[in-house]
Chain A
Amino acid sequence: MANTGTPLVEMRDISIAFGGIKAVDHVSIDLHPGEVVGLLGHNGAGKSTLIKCLSGAYKADAGEIYINGAKVDINNPRDAREYNIETIYQTLALADNLNAASNLFLGREIVGAGGFLDDSAMEAETRKIMARLNPNFRKFNVPVSALSGGQRQSVAIARAVYFNAKILIMDEPTAALGPQETQMVAELIQELKKQGLGIFLIEHDIHAVMDLCDRAVVMKNGHRVGTVNVNEVTDEDILGMIIMGKKPPQAV
């Protein structure tokens, strides 16, 4: 894919530290419409922290974020939502005591006359989207604490997909899923890509990255090792980048 136009997202020279630890150290990444960019690296490499700067969960200490070429200020999750950035967090970020519909619409509830919540409308919408994402899902009227890990994951995915995101961040979206559900998420990613979304996919499974992603960014100890087009490299090249921090000649 030729990435010539203005990138959908560009994160330039992002740095963030917690106490003395430089979790992300001068990292730049970009994302184009209809592109899936994989983010790889060992545990604690700084992947989640980096994308949290885009989703508004953290504020970067230094660096700039551009959306469609325009510099933006993302100070909180609400700002990110304004730019149609949706996130599936690694921790799923669900309120355990609320049901699937309340979680899906949290912060963006459907209200009816007089500004009162329209819970039945929200449940009906939730049933519709879940029928598409996870047809076996039945537990609509119980708190999500009563759901299995995979069921919770599908609620988190439904929440990110429902609101017509333009930029989707998926932090290990298949971590708790069975093979069939993982396959469905893969198909979903391809469908969303066709619709022109840009997707950041954090994923430890290299085969999944090779299948789904256009480019892969590898991080190590808060640094960016390099970025590769996945069709120009082998599994071993990427493994070498993750484990040894060895940059193959094709990488930029």
Chain B
Amino acid sequence: MTDTPTHAPQGSDAKLGPIARFIRDTELDTRMLGMVGALLLIWSAFHFYPIIAGLFSGNGLNMGAGLFITPRNLWNLSVQTSMTGIMATGMVLVIITRNIDLSVGSIVGVTGMVMGIVQVNILPPMLGLGSPVIWIITALIGIVLGALIGAFHGWLIAYRAIPSFIVTLGGMLVWRGAAFLTADGKTIAPVDTTFALLGGGPSGSVGAVGSWIVGILGCIAVLWIIQAGRKTRTKHGFPQRPMWAEGVLALLGCGVLIGAVLVVNAYTWPKGIVDAYVKANPDVVVPEGGLQISTGFAIPVLILIVVGILMTILMTRTRFGRYVFAIGGNPEAAALSGINTKWMTLKIFSLMGLLSGLAAVVASARLNAATNALGTLDELYVIASAVVGGTSLAGGVGTIYGAIIGALVMQSLQTGMVLIGYGDGSYRMIAVGVALVLAVYLDNLYRKKTK
């Protein structure tokens, strides 16, 4: 690897620049690199905007003004992303198979309301207030209800041949209405205290040690995946990645993980919560300068990570995932290959419903209440996340990690607009709308170039 691009002999490497060679040898997905680049650009723009704006308004350079790339904001961002992210992973499957689901926000609403009633009005009299199984039963009911609603949509789409756009448009209205009727529009609060932990917040996070455990397990997984990959390539005599490329991948993977741990651990509990904690635990020693408790990863973020991993395995390593792609690529060919495409469609929508139910768990726990407006407009952000993340509306193409990064991009725009003082809905909506169209346009250009 010593030849320079200009003087190299006519080999396969000859025409590639160092960056192209790096990407080829590491086999990194250039699309993902582009998305991560865009994300970092958005973050820096929001971070430095107040500083630059300050410069122009004559207040001089104020390096402390950047608010975006701070542990506190990034931690918040991670929690806010988790809800759309969870649903976006399912929307990928729906869109890959050339369908759409407009009902996810309303499914969040109705399952959220049902879970509110179950855990506040029904279970406590049966099991006793604060019973440790309330949260499990509640969450299961919400998730199963979501899956059933999704399965019903899928049945109408697959076996009654009603277009998914229509079924889920109808579903969007029906389930939002149903959410209202479950409690005549009343808000149900507060939720079960254990259930509330699923929404994140300082006590709904795993702390410094827990986060390190997560990070280190993640690093071990990265190394194991690289090692396993080498083994299968050897077994079948396929060419290996160069060792340096494997090293770069390992460093990148572990670096991102450890970086994330450092960020979430750098965000410490707000003072009010620490004071309350000290009061409740009189035997803790408060050091000089106050007690600093690392928040660590929030539980909803861990839920998103687990969902992301499971969905990635489902899509890349199982028959189910293979059939999802095949149906998206050519539904007729999939059917002729013996794939039961109708049953697949039903299962895909059921999975989408299940994930919406799970998102409702996180959303209502985070709000510490169930309201019939929960999840309103979420369908649009979820679809936008999947599409910004590279899922093609023409079908057949999409990745889970892309959708999660897409959700992070969409959430960053929303949070960023608030932070720089354009938080009132109108500017925020304009920014998000423009970003969506721009992202799809850039993606088209990218696909044309790589074809």
A interface residues with partner B (beta carbon < 8 Å): 55, 57, 76-78, 81, 87, 89, 91-98, 102-103, 106-109, 111, 115-117, 120-121, 123-124, 143, 146
Contact = CB atoms under 8 A, between A and B. Distances in A.
Contacts of A97: 325, 328-329, 396-397
Interface string B309-335: 000010011110010011011101111
11 contacts: A55-B336, A92-B333, A93-B332, A94-B330, A96-B330, A102-B325, A106-B322, A106-B337, A117-B317, A123-B238, A146-B451
A150 to B, nearest CB: 18
Contacts of A102: 322, 325-326
A57 B337 CA distance: 10
Contacts of A146: 451
Interface stretch (B5-13, B126-134, B228-236): B228-236
A93 B336 contact: yes
Contact of A96 (B313, B322, B396): B396
Contact of A117 (B322, B329, B336): B322
A120 B329 contact: no
Given A95-B326, A95-B330, A96-B396, A120 B336 contact: no
A77 B335 contact: yes
A158 to B, nearest CB: 14
A78 B334 contact: no
B287 interface: no
Nearest to B328: A97
A96 B317 CA distance: 19
A107 B318 contact: no
Given A97-B329, A98-B322, A106-B334, 19 more contacts: A77-B338, A78-B340, A89-B336, A95-B326, A95-B329, A95-B330, A96-B396, A97-B325, A97-B328, A98-B325, A102-B326, A107-B338, A107-B339, A108-B338, A109-B319, A116-B313, A120-B233, A121-B236, A143-B329
Nearest to B451: A146
Nearest to A146: B451
B317 A107 contact: no
Interface string B331-353: 01111111110000000000000
A107 B329 contact: no
A146 B447 CA distance: 13
A227 B332 CA distance: 32
A163 to B, nearest CB: 11
A103 B337 CA distance: 9
A71 to B, nearest CB: 22
Interface string B283-326: 00000000000000000000000000000010011110010011
B240 to A, nearest CB: 13
Contacts of A55: 336
A181 to B, nearest CB: 22
Nearest to A116: B317
A108 B337 CA distance: 9
Contacts of B233: 120
A160 to B, nearest CB: 11
A124 B317 CA distance: 17
B415 to A, nearest CB: 34
B325 to A, nearest CB: 6
B329 A98 contact: yes
A93 B338 contact: no
Interface string B344-380: 0000000000000000000000000000000000000
A152 to B, nearest CB: 11
Contact of B319 (A95, A96, A111, A124): A111
A146 B329 CA distance: 13
Contacts of B330: 93-96
B338 A76 contact: yes
A93 B396 contact: no
Contacts of A98: 322, 325-326, 329
Pick the 6 closest A-B CB pairs, nearest first. Answer: A95-B329, A97-B329, A97-B396, A107-B337, A93-B333, A107-B338
Interface string B381-410: 000000000000000110000000000000
A107 B334 CA distance: 8
A214 B426 CA distance: 75
Contacts of B316: 117
B338 A95 contact: no
A216 B79 CA distance: 69
B8 to A, nearest CB: 23
Contacts of B237: 124
A250 B322 CA distance: 51
B313 to A, nearest CB: 8
Contacts of B333: 92-95, 103, 106
Given A95-B325, A106-B322, A120 B238 contact: yes
A108 B318 CA distance: 12
Interface in B219-264: 232-233, 235-238
A77 B336 contact: yes
Contacts of A109: 319, 322
Given A97-B328, A97-B397, A123 B337 contact: no
A124 to B, nearest CB: 4
A117 B318 contact: yes
Given A97-B397, A117-B318, A120-B235, A77 B337 contact: yes
Given A109-B322, A117-B319, A121-B236, A95 B334 contact: yes
A108 B336 CA distance: 12
A146 B233 CA distance: 24
Contacts of B325: 95, 97-98, 102
B319 A81 contact: no
A204 B340 CA distance: 33
A33 B413 CA distance: 67
Nearest to B231: A120
Contacts of B236: 120-121, 123-124
Interface in B167-199: none
A98 B329 CA distance: 7
Contacts of A77: 335-338
Contacts of B397: 97
A152 B338 CA distance: 19
